Structure 1
Amino acid sequence: MGVLGCFAGASRRDDPAARARQDPEERAEAGLPAGPRRRVPGLRRSEVAALADVSVEYYAKLERGHLAGVSPAVLESVARALQLDDAERAHLLHLAQAADGSDALTRPRRRPGRGWTPPPGLQWTLDAITGGPAFVRNGRADLVATNALARSFYCDLFREPGVPGGAVAGEQPDGGAGGGARPSAGDGGGVRPGGGGGGGGGAARPGGGQPPNLARYQFLDPASRAFYPDWSVAADITVAILRTEAGRDPHDRGLHDLIGELSTRSDEFRVRWGAHDVRHHGSGTKHFHHPRVGDLTLSYQGLQLAAEPDLFFTVYTAEPGSASERSLRLLAAPATTGLSAVSP
């Protein structure tokens, strides 16, 4: 993966400076003559170089991904010329640091591996959240720890092989949520039983198997098409998160393997990966269609764990008094045979 391709060339879809607009007024705001309206949006390479106060030849070198030794001042000038947002600026900086090796001190000393078990305090925190799905993921979109409601929410990731209807792995015969989740379809291997607490448990699989992975589910499981009504938007977000992680930690072999697998098996992923879009995924609203309770509109908050900077804590909640909140309550209750979607 190297430095993950050039930032300023392959990462933009239309022309070498597609961050800028074709509107004459916007060109004027960028500090360039308004000029005639163009057939193709964006600035010419020479115009970006002028805005960044570098030569065209030097800017072309940056476009080709030669970022080693580039000063922070030049990176900032390029970022300003291309009107990059915070996530894109951080991505550019990470690529430059990886190119010259200056990321060595900030590179993770260790990553939570397949045998990683959530500390008891973290699992207790997850289990204490009963009003919404809560989980911990890594930069590869592996679910490494969950609360009981998250396993019911992502039932397609945790379902027993051969069991239809989104039955959640780990549910007891009477429908109650059990200790840890067991195998899920599509991932192979089983989920390690959770330690401590009523319904919690780490989501990593024993025996070296793959943990439940949101990216694999998004692109390789047909059930995701129904689960995400805005599937294309959700797919864009998933790929942008992985691209951001690839810039932050380009030496993660597990991430390399995941990208290779998805690129080989999914045309939808491969096209999006080539766009080089990045984003921070801190908060927002998403729409879902759950196989048991129907449509859900949920807000989410994502936090980076201070004790484990490679891990991200996410909680979904519903507006108080809404149909989505009632649906989450039903989903959190012991499952019943033949449960149908909830009417608004």
Structure 2
Amino acid sequence: MAKIDLRSEIKEFLRSRRARITPERAGLPVYGGNRRVKGLRREEVALLAGVSVDYYVRMERGSLAGTSDGVLDAVASALHLDEAERDHLFHLARQSRAPGGPRRRRPAVTVRPALQQVLDAITDAPAWICNGRYDVLATNHLARALYSPVLADTRRTANTARFVYLDPAAAGTFFVDYDRIAGDVAAKLRMEAGRDPHDEELIALVGELSTRSDLFRQRWASQDVRLHRSGRKRLHHPAVGRLDLDVESMELPADPGLLLTVYTAPAGTATADGLALLASWAAEQEKPATEIQAPERQDLPGT
């Protein structure tokens, strides 16, 4: 992928959202049974949003540069956009208003020592810091143990999106709800593309995944977007088995673009016991070789 084309992003996003809304859902009367379009017509969206047909057609052709926040809100309501979709529409509009620019490489992000201290102070729960491209930038010892399959390839910065789409056999075993996870990853990457369509590393990642994964191409074409939010994640860890974890993801205001994610489980549950077992396993894995007791020597007869 050479670039993320902003006009195409706007056009395909609005068309895809319009196609899923039926007149009945929008509260419009239906005359006759022979509709040639899937979902709403453009003139119906214009009517619901209170703008002229020409104005909405111009928007759907990829031009949001002069669109007010009020009109964006009205279109979002007409298309029944959820919170993530509404935010995405506003991100696209904001980028349309900004001066055009070439692809740019973001400065290398390093996690501040104080943030690593925060991670290390969380001793009973896996925690890590990533960016919107799913690069894993810092972990505590339990997160390294929990996500050991994701972190196994040390040739470059670990990236959850690459693991999900480029190692589907391992990812399908690790993530119990692999299909949902794959959809969420693509949707969150598209959300990131709306925030910064000129990010060179994001463009390269989307291009790599599009080239190497049929599933990613399908999910990317859906135009779905998601926010990084709280939820549940079900994993099958190779050392401790099934873990059903509560996930809290939060943006770091002092470090824009970075997310802190913490995995927990209610006390007394099988998953809480599994995390305790994971901690023991992680401690064994991180012992220096000199601390690992050698097996007793078994002398052969006659020696």
Q: CA deviation at 1:10?
A: 4.7
Contact 1:157–1:217 (Cα < 8 Å) also in 2: yes
Unaligned runs of 5+ in 2: 286-303
Residue pairs, 1:85-234, within 5 angstroms: 85-101=82-98, 111=106, 113=108, 116-159=109-152, 184=153, 188=155, 210-221=156-167, 222-234=169-181
Give yes or no for the alignment of 1:45 onto 2:45: no
> 2:184 maps to what in 1?
237
Any idea what the Cα deviations from partners look like across 1:31-74, whole Å, max 9, x if unmatched?
x2366788886222221111112222322222221222222222
Q: 1:11 and 1:219 mapped to 2: Cα distance?
A: 26
Give yes or no for the alignment of 1:305 onto 2:252: yes
RMSD: 2.5
Q: Secondary structure at the match of 1:259?
A: helix
> 1:73 maps to what in 2?
70
Q: 1:137 and 1:334 mapped to 2: Cα distance?
A: 24
Q: CA deviation at 1:102?
A: 6.5
Q: 1:97 and 1:247 mapped to 2: Cα distance?
A: 9
- CA distance 1:328–1:36, shift in 2 (3 Å): farther
Contact 2:171–2:178 (Cα < 8 Å) also in 1: yes
- CA distance 1:12–1:271, shift in 2 (3 Å): farther
Contact 2:149–2:170 (Cα < 8 Å) also in 1: yes
Q: 2:147 and 2:230 mapped to 1: Cα distance?
A: 19
TM-score (norm 2): 0.83
Any idea what the Cα deviations from partners look like across 1:10-38, whole Å, max 9, x if unmatched?
5655xx6134246x3x332xxx2366788
Any idea what the Cα deviations from partners look like across 1:273-329, whole Å, max 9, x if unmatched?
111111112101111111111111111111111111110111011122111111111
What is the letter of the counterpart of residue 51 of structure 1? L
Any idea what the Cα deviations from partners look like across 1:95-132, whole Å, max 9, x if unmatched?
1111121699xxxx99451xx43222111110111222
Q: 1:112 and 1:6 mapped to 2: Cα distance?
A: 25
Q: How many residues align?
A: 277
Q: 1:324 and 1:11 mapped to 2: Cα distance?
A: 42
Q: Secondary structure at the match of 1:288?
A: strand
What is the letter of the counterpart of residue 325 of structure 1? A
> 1:180 maps to what in 2?
none
Q: Secondary structure at the match of 1:313?
A: strand
Q: 1:38 and 1:316 mapped to 2: Cα distance?
A: 51
Q: Rg larger in 1 or in 2?
A: 2
Q: 2:72 and 2:22 mapped to 1: Cα distance?
A: 21
Q: CA deviation at 1:244?
A: 0.6
> 2:266 maps to what in 1?
319
Contact 1:87–1:279 (Cα < 8 Å) also in 2: yes
- CA distance 1:4–1:333, shift in 2 (3 Å): farther
Give yes or no for the alignment of 1:59 onto 2:56: yes
By percentage of residues, which structure has more helix?
Answer: 2
What is the letter of the counterpart of residue 27 of structure 1? A
> 1:2 maps to what in 2?
5
Give yes or no for the alignment of 1:20 onto 2:21: yes
Percent sequence identity over matched residues? 48
- CA distance 1:36–1:292, shift in 2 (3 Å): farther
Any idea what the Cα deviations from partners look like across 1:121-176, whole Å, max 9, x if unmatched?
111110111222100001110000110111111111223xxxxxxxxxxxxxxxxx
- CA distance 1:236–1:38, shift in 2 (3 Å): farther
Higher relative contact order (CA 8 A, sep 6+): 2
1:289 to 236, 243, 250: 236
Q: 2:92 and 2:176 mapped to 1: Cα distance?
A: 34
Q: 1:20 and 1:27 mapped to 2: Cα distance?
A: 7
- CA distance 1:328–1:98, shift in 2 (3 Å): same
> 1:341 maps to what in 2?
none
1:332 to 279, 292, 296: 279
TM-score (norm 1): 0.74
Q: Secondary structure at the match of 1:155?
A: coil
- CA distance 1:268–1:241, shift in 2 (3 Å): same
